[in-house]
Structure formats: structure tokens, C-alpha cells
Amino acid sequence: MNRKLTAIDLFSGCGGFSYGFQQAGFHVILGVDNTEIALKTFEQNHNDSKTLLLDLHEDNSIDKIVESKGEHKVDVIIAGPPCQGFSLTGARNENDERNTLFNAVFKLAKRVNPKAIIIENVPGLLNLYKGKAKKEIIELCEEMGYNCNPKLLYAPDYGVPQIRKRVFFVAIKKELGIFEFPEATHKPQDYIGCKDAIGDLPDLVSDLGNEELHYNKKPFSQYQKTMRNGNKVLKNHLGTQHTEHVINVISQVPEGGNHKDLPPGVGDSRKFNEAWTRYHSKRPSKTIDTGHRNHFHYKWNRVPSVRENARLQSFPDEFVFLGNKTQQYRQVGNAVPPLLGKVLGTHLINYLKDEN
């Protein structure tokens, strides 16, 4: 029987990571998260996937997941637990509620026995509690019969036009070997810059746009063609109304510059590291976060639209975000770039397919 490999996405948000797995050929059975609007976005963009609104602190949360997956066999568990879920100081206390988020991944694995587990998190996790968190994950994998290989991945190395570092723990059943991460696809001189990522989108300067725009330029980079993929209507590309003061400050920031490049007395209201940052057309963007107030378009005097942030996160244009604008920005910023999911998912298939 040649069935599709399957995945469950825990702490899924809008499902960027598992969308990449879907692109790689997996059937994503279920997305589990505690934010309703993110799950609505998930359902809209994943084929035949169910969602489950769930707080994984709850005692019976694993039972609910097992019930929701129905008869499906689960090949892979994907998870990006919030790093507050790694409370590992002192003895591991099963009842410490901060631990439950982290342990939910392994409790579910005990019940469904997947061939692989992938945990994604911020780089700081490697050194959290003097490396205890990393050691703990590897030991839990060992106990359950998995070889676990953690690695820090840098998104531009895999064609994502954004400076983003994340650690990925990929654990596969011992009989399947040890997962070796795929080689980088891009060298620093080939990194995709902001212009090649978003330069074909309407500029939103004289017109803030509307819910359904049409492309008004032809794509001029391979990345843009890939992101469009025959898509006709542009969603989530709405401008933001800035005050004259904000536009005036942004206009004085040089390409690739930030608050340090402003004249004395200008932009004093914001003076932290990322304040008044203008992207550089030839370089990947800064890390996309859940807000949208500190980064600006490489050319236009405005913040990027949700769609532009989504492009910089490698979401294709056919992926539509639901909710109000603030919710949409948050969904984009919280996501794992789908392209990283696709690269890892495609590579992981080589380890799992012999089993089928």
C-alpha cells in the first residue's frame, strides 16, 4: 500500500512548518494550538486537515489529540513549544505545569509511536539552564528509542529571504539511522534579498490597497515566480496609515540603516536595537517578529504589509491569513518558514519511505 506519510503539528499556530511538510508530500492530519484564529487560518490552507483548539496544560489534552486523529497512523510529530515550556531546573517534576508543554510532545509520542519527532525552538534553548534543556530532549528521545540530532539552522542558507536562526531537534527511530541535515542550498553570495522577495508587489504608496489586489508588475526573480505559483489574486497586502511625523522619520533612514543613522533629535521616541530599521534591497530582511512597527520597506516609507512579511517568511501568495491585521502579523511572525519545513520534510522522507 502506498499511503501518504502523515504528521501532527503541535503548537501549530497558523501552520507554517506543517505547510512546508504538506508541500513536501505529507498529509497533515491535525493542527493543535490554543489560538482560535490561527487554527482557522490553518484549516483554510491545509488540505483535509482537522484542527483542535486545546491548551496542552490540560490533563486530558493528549487523550483529546489521540481521539481527534481517529484511525490515522502518525509518522511524524512536529512541535514548536514556547520556550517557557522548558522548565528543567532541579529534578524533573511531572506535575510542574511549566514542564507540561514540553512534555506534551513526548506524552503524545508514547501514545502514537511516530517514526520521527521534530522540535523547533529559539537558539537560546541550546544553552538554557546550562544546556540542560538540550540534554533533556536528547535523553527523552533515547529513552523512547530515537536517535536525536539537534542543529542550528540559518534560514538564508535554505533560500528564505530572512535572517532567522532556529534550532531543530530531529529524532528518528533508531532502526532508521541518524538524521543528517540537508546541505545548505544557498551560499552567502546567493542569499535572496528583499527586492527579489517582495519587489514585484504593489507599492501601496498612494493607495493603501484593498482585500483583493491584482499584481501590477511581472515577477522579476525566480523567488517571486515560486511565491506566485500561478496565483491571481493578492490577499493580505494592505498598507498602514502612518502619521506625517513617522513618514518623515522613516524617510531619513538610509537603506539597511536604523535609528543610529538618524540625525540628532530625530526619532528619539524609539532607540532600542531594532528601532527604525530599514531593510536593504540586496540582503535578507531582519527576523520577522509578531509586531510590525520597527521595520520598514527597503524603498517605501512604510512598514511591510502582512503579505510582504509572509513572503519574507517564504509563505506562498496562495496562503491566506485570517483575522484582523494585528492577528495576521502575529500569525506570520510566530511561524516557522514553510520553506524550511519543506526542505526538512523532503529530506526526512528519504529516511521514512523504506518503511512503507
The residues that are catalytic are 83
Residue 175 CB neighbours (<10 A): 9
Enter the C-alpha cell of residue 118: 521534530
Ranges of H-type helices in 180-255: 194-198, 222-228, 244-251
Question: DSSP letters along 274-325, please?
Answer: TTTEEP-TTSPBPPP-S--SSEE-SSSSSPPPHHHHHHHTT--TT----S-H
Strands, E assignment, 34-164: 50-53, 76-79, 116-121, 146-154
Question: What kind and span of H or E run contains 255?
Answer: none
Residue 14, Cβ density class (10 Å: 0-12 exposed, 13-18 middle, ≥19 buried):
buried
At residue 346, the 3 state secondary structure works out as: helix
The answer to whether the Cα torsion of 274, 276, 282, 287 is positive or negative is positive
